[in-house]
Every structure is written in C-alpha cells, then in structure tokens.
Amino acid sequence: MLGVRVGDRRPAVGRVADAGGRLRALLIAPPGAGKGTQAQRICAHFGVADISTGDVFRREVAAGTVLGKEVASYLDRGDLVPDTLVGEVVRQEIQKALDATGGYLLDGFPRTLPQAEAAHAIAVDMGIAAHAVVTFDVPRAVLLERLMGRGTSDGRSDDTEATIRHRLEVYDAQTAPLLDFYSGQGMLVRIAADQSIDEVTKVTIAALEEAMH
Ligand code: ADP
C-alpha cells in the first residue's frame, strides 16, 4: 500500500508504479507531534504532495460544502469523521497527488483499522505500494504543552483543553493500535520527535531515503 511493501503485490492491470518511484508514505502520529510542520518539509524535500486529511476537512468546513457541513461537528468535538466519509476523499486526493507529483505523504490517514483496510484497497486498485509508515514519538506531557500553546496562537477551533484531551484519547484508542499492525509488516519507522524541528526533519528524511532503497 499504503499497507503493502513495494513488490509484494503487483496487479497485472492499472497504474503500476515502478519499484522505486517518488516517495509514497504514511504519517501516523498523535495530535501535537508535529505532523503538519514535518509533512510540509518532507514533501518539499521529496517533491511530492502533502495530503493532510485534517486540512482537507478544515477547507471543506471553511468553504461550507456539503461534506464540510457533514464533518464540522466531528472536528469541533475532536471526534473522528466517520470512515465512510474519509475513504472516498482520500482516494481522490491520492489520485490527484500521483497525477501531479508521482508520490504523496498521507498526513493523518489512516486513523482506524477500517481506514487501514481502505488504504490497502485503494493501493491495490491503483497498483501502488507505500515505502514506509512513519510515526513520531513524543512524551505525552510535551504534546499537551504544545497543543495548549497552539490553541492560543493559531486559533484552531478544536484546540481547547477538553477537545485536546479527547483527541489524545481517540488517538490512543483507535489510531495507536495501527502502529503494531504496520510494525508487524516491517513498514514502521519510529522517529524520536522530542527534538528540534530541524533535527526531526533531518532524521525523518534520512529514514525515508533508506526505506525507499
Ligand atoms: P490533529 O492530529 O492535531 O488532531 P488533524 O489536522 O490531523 O489534527 O485532524 C483534525 C481533525 O480532523 C481530527 O480531530 C478529526 O476530526 C478529523 N480527521 C483528520 N483526519 C481524519 C481521519 N483520517 N479520519 C477521521 N477523521 C479525521
């Protein structure tokens, strides 16, 4: 995928990426771990599209689209948007990313087991496979400190204390188990992300370059 190592599964038809190709990776990390910041830097380095499901949903809400109206209350509460609404959005974004840049970094997807299954199905349909799944390890106290600070500085409506705590609980319950799953597939790259922004970028890029070879 997405969940399959390059070379494991090569459908006879459809868009088959060459074994190397541009970076295709997933980024799974808790709120406050620095996903958004690092995703931009990693994508700039590898020349691939940054697909942030959180950003996609926030744009839809801001634009007042039908999808935006459906997802707004989930975002405000810090709950996950239902899997059925996420899968189609991601499929379209991946297709756009591949057409535009030949690769992608998925930032914030998958977050549940059904989403991981959807990711797998999309990859098989498109004849692609991810090089790696990256996660950022950051102590809980540091996450909380960063998130509380961010709410006052960038004004995200889901960065209030109660919502932040809830998003972390949702991460632990629904998303963290995916790390064992990807680790079992030999795809997981763990980055100690309680370091400077530059250091995390450097270490992550090096790990991804390694995973692509
Ligand atoms: P953070 O990880 O800091 O909470 P994101 O921008 O990744 O920020 O996500 C913000 C919100 O967008 C989530 O709380 C959730 O409501 C929604 N969201 C983003 N990605 C997904 C996803 N893959 N599945 C369901 N909901 C999502």
**What CATH number did the domain enclosing 146 receive?**
3.40.50.300
Question: In this structure, are residues 15 and 128 in contact, taking their beta carbons and an 8 Å threshold?
Answer: yes
Residue 10 has a pLDDT of 37
Residue 87 in domain: no
Domain count, the chain: 1
Give 47's DSSP letter.
T
Q: Are 107 and 53 in contact (CB under 8 A)?
A: yes
CB 61 within 8 A of CB 75: yes
194 within some domain: yes
Cα-to-chain-centroid distance, residue 83: 14
Q: For this structure, is 69 an active site residue?
A: no
CA 75 to chain centre: 16
Nearest to 46 by CA among 20, 18, 15, 24: 24
* Cα 10 to averaged position of ligand 1 atoms, centre (Å): 31
Beta strands across the sheet bearing 188-192 = 49-52, 104-107, 24-27, 132-137, 188-192
Ligand 1 proximity of 24 Cβ (cutoff 6 Å)? no
Ligand 1 pocket residue status of 34, Cβ below 6 Å: no
User: Torsions phi, psi of 188, nearest 5?
Assistant: -85, 130
CA distance 54 to 36: 9
| Residue 108 placed within a domain | yes
Our answer to whether residue 35 is catalytic in this structure is yes
pLDDT at 158: 82
pLDDT at 7: 41
pLDDT, position 14: 34
Q: Answer whether residue 113 is part of any domain.
A: yes
77: in domain: no
Report CA 168 to chain centroid distance, whole Å.
Answer: 16
Q: Whose CA is nearest to atom 10 of ligand 1?
A: 54
Q: Which atom of ligand 1 is nearest to the CA of 115?
A: 23
The yes-or-no answer on residue 22 being catalytic is: no
Per-residue pLDDT of the chain (213 residues; tens, 9 = 90+): 444 444 444 333 333 444 458 999 999 999 999 999 999 999 999 999 999 999 999 999 999 999 999 999 999 999 999 999 999 999 999 999 999 999 999 999 999 999 999 999 999 999 999 999 999 999 999 999 989 887 666 667 788 889 999 999 999 999 999 999 999 999 999 999 999 999 999 999 999 999 998
Looking from the CA of residue 78, the nearest atom of ligand 1 is: 14
Q: Exactly one of 9, 91, 146, 150 is catalytic; which is it? A: 150
Q: Is the CB of 78 within 6 Å of ligand 1?
A: yes
- In this structure, is residue 58 part of a structural domain? no
- As a whole number of angstroms, the distance between CA 132 and CA 134 comes to 6
The reported pTM is: 0.88
Ligand 1 center–CA 84 separation, angstroms: 14
Residue 89 confidence (pLDDT): 95
Q: Which two tokens stand for residue 180?
A: 């064992």
Residue 71 lies in a domain: no
Assigned domain for 20 exists: yes
Q: What residue type is assigned to position 101 of the chain? A: T
What is the extent of the structural domain holding 148? 4-53+103-211
